[in-house]
Chains A and B, each alone.
Chain A
C-alpha cells in the first residue's frame, strides 16, 4: 500500500524537478544542486559509518589509557560501563548514529569537553590557515607554472622546473623549521612560533584575520597576519609545486591550442593572449585548489603542532595519539563534511566558469 502511494509522489517530484530545469538558464544548475544535496546525507551516513567502524576496530583500550598506569582494574571496568564500551556492536553503532543525527558528537575522553565545542573553537583557526596557505600556493604556483609554460622547453622553463622540484621535495614541517631558524631567529622578522596572536591579546582563537579585518582593528589584524606568515608560507611554498605543475601543463596546452594561435594571428597583444589562455586553463587549476583544500584539512596537522596553532589538525593528531575515540570520529566527520562541501562548490563554480560543462 505504501509503495503504491510513494510512486505518484515520486512522479510528482520528478515532474516538479523537470519544471525547475526548464524554467530558465539557472534551471539546470538548480536541478543539479538539488540532486547533489539530496546525496549529501547518504555520503554523511557512509562517512559516519566508516568513522565508527575504523575506531571500533581499534585494538587499544581507551579506558586503559584514560586511567593511566596508576589505574586499577576496577577503574577500567567503571569507565567501560560509563562509556558504554561493553555494549555490542549494533547497540553502539545505533547509539552513535542517533547521537550524530542529533548533533551530539560525544565528549572527549581526556579534555572532558563536548567535541562540538572543541570543533567550534579549533576549526576557525584551521580554516583561516588553510585559506591563507592556498592563496600563497596559488599565487606562487600559478605564476611559476604559467611562466614555465610560456617559455616551454626553453631556458626559463628549465629554471622554473628546478624551482618546482625544490618546492615539491621539501617536507612542509622541515621548511617550517628552516623558516623558524632564518626568519625568526636570524632575521627577527617574525613573531615567536607559538600561537595565533601576541601573548597578551584577549582573543587567541577564532577568525582572527578575517574578523579583525572587517572590524577595522588594524593593529590586531597586523598581529594575526604576522603570526600567520610562517606557517602559511611553509605550507604555501610546498603545495605551490602542485599548482605550478598543473598550471604548467594546462597553460602550455592552452598556449599551443588553435584558438590562441588564431588570437595571435589576429594581432592581439601578448597580455590579452595570456588572459585568454588562462581562461581555458583555469578549470584544472581550480580543481586542484579544491582537492588541496581537502588534503590540507588534517594534512597541515604537523605544521599546526609546530606553531601551536590550536587548529583541528593539531587537535585530531593529539586525539589519535591518545586514542581519544570521540575526537577522532568528530574530526573524520568534520573533514568529510568540509571535503564534500568544497567539491560541491567546485562543481558549481566550474560550471559557471566553463560553459562546456553541463549538469546532466
Chain B
C-alpha cells in the first residue's frame, strides 16, 4: 500500500521534527534535567555527613556551622543530610505521579477529542471534578488509600493533573481534527484509533511535554503541601514538606534554617522544572 517515495518523505520529516530538540536554545532543558537527575541520584548515592534518620540528641537546634552545614532541627536531625536524602524520595514520587497522570490523561483526552457526544460527556464529568476543592479532595483520597503508604500520594497528584492533561489534549486534538491531513487520513480509511495515536498524538507531543514539566513542578508542591499537613512519609523518613513543618514554629523565634533550607530545595527543583517548561513552550511557539 505505501509506496517508496512516501515512506522516504515521512522518514525525512520525522528526523526534522526531532532536530529542534538538539539545538542550542534547548540548553536550559538539558541543564535542568541534568540538575534534577543529579540531585535525585545524590540523595540516594553520595555519603552524607550524618545519618538523615538518626538524630543527634545532644545538639538540637544548632545553627548552620562547619559541622552541621544547614544546622540541626528540634530533635537534632542534621538538616543538610535530610534535605539531600529527601530529594531521592520527593522527586521520583513527583515523577511517578506525573507519569501516572500522563498515562491516564492523554488517552482519555484523545478519546474526548473525538467528534460526538462522548467527548462532551467526558469533559462535563471532569468539569465537575474541577469545581471541587482539590487539596481537601486529595486529603480525602489519600485517606481512602491509606495515609501511611507514601505512594498513595500519587492519587492526590493524579486527581489534580489528569484533568489538565485531558483538557489540553482535547483542545489541541479538536483543533487538529479540522486539519487537511486528518481529513486525508479519514479519506483513505484510517481507523479512529490509528488517527488518534499515529496522527494526532505526535502532533500534540510537544504541548504534552510542556505539561509534563509543569505537572511535575506542581506535583512537587502538592507532595510538599500534603507532607506539611502530615500526610506522606512516616516520620523518621525525610521529606521536604514535613521538614518545613518541623521548623515552622521556630521561625517566629528566629531559628530560620530548619524550614528555609528544605523550602529552598523545593523552590530550586520547581524553578528548574518551570524553566524547562518555558523553554519548551517558546520553542513550540516558534516552530
Contact = CB atoms under 8 A, between A and B. Distances in A.
Given A169-B271, A170-B267, A192 B135 contact: no
A161 B128 contact: no
Contact of A185 (B143, B230, B253, B274): B253
B182 interface: no
Contacts of A340: 131
B270 interface: yes
Interface in B248-270: 248, 251-254, 256, 259-260, 263, 266-267, 270
A60 B274 contact: no
B260 A178 contact: yes
Nearest to A325: B140
B139 interface: yes
Contact of A297 (B133, B221, B259): B133
A305 B133 contact: no
Nearest to A179: B251
A169 B131 CA distance: 24
Given A173-B225, A184-B252, A321 B230 contact: yes
Interface string A293-335: 0110111011001100000010011001101000010011001
A222 interface: no
A337 to B, nearest CB: 10
Contacts of B221: 171
Contacts of B139: 317, 320-321
Contact of B260 (A58, A170, A181, A331): A181
Contacts of A297: 133
Interface stretch (A11-19, A25-33, A47-55, A68-76): A47-55
A165 B275 contact: yes
Contacts of B251: 177, 180-181, 185
B228 interface: yes
A171 B266 contact: yes
A323 B143 contact: yes
Contacts of A335: 131-133, 136
Contact of A317 (B132, B135, B144, B259): B135
A301 B140 contact: no
Given A50-B128, A59-B144, A170-B267, A302 B229 contact: yes
B243 to A, nearest CB: 11
B172 interface: no
B143 A166 contact: no
Contacts, number: 123
A298 B134 contact: yes
B212 interface: no
A169 B140 contact: no
A175 B191 CA distance: 51
Interface in A250-275: none
A332 B136 contact: yes
Contacts of B133: 297-299, 301, 313, 316, 331-332, 335
Interface string A31-68: 00000000000000011001000110111100000000
Sorting the interface of chain A by its residue count into under 10, 10 to 19, 20 to 34 or 35 or more gives 35 or more
A231 interface: no
A177 B140 contact: no
A243 to B, nearest CB: 16
Interface in B271-286: 271, 274-275, 278
B224 interface: yes
Given A165-B271, A169-B270, A317-B229, A328 B128 contact: no
A339 interface: yes
Contacts of B168: none
Nearest to B256: A181
A168 interface: yes
B228 A173 contact: yes
A193 interface: yes
B274 A168 contact: yes
Contact of A193 (B135, B252, B275): B252
A58 B143 contact: yes
A165 to B, nearest CB: 5
B233 interface: no
A177 B267 contact: no
Interface of A: 46-47, 50, 54-55, 57-60, 161, 165-166, 168-171, 173-174, 177-178, 180-181, 184-186, 192-193, 294-295, 297-299, 301-302, 305-306, 313, 316-317, 320-321, 323, 328, 331-332, 335-336, 339-340
Interface of B: 128, 131-137, 139-140, 143-144, 217, 221, 224-225, 228-230, 244, 248, 251-254, 256, 259-260, 263, 266-267, 270-271, 274-275, 278
9 contacts: A58-B143, A171-B270, A181-B254, A297-B133, A301-B135, A306-B248, A320-B136, A331-B136, A336-B132
Given A177-B251, A185-B253, 8 more contacts: A169-B270, A174-B244, A177-B244, A181-B256, A301-B136, A305-B229, A332-B132, A336-B132
Give me the 5 closest cross-chain CB pairs, A-B, nearest first.
A298-B133, A174-B263, A169-B271, A169-B270, A335-B133
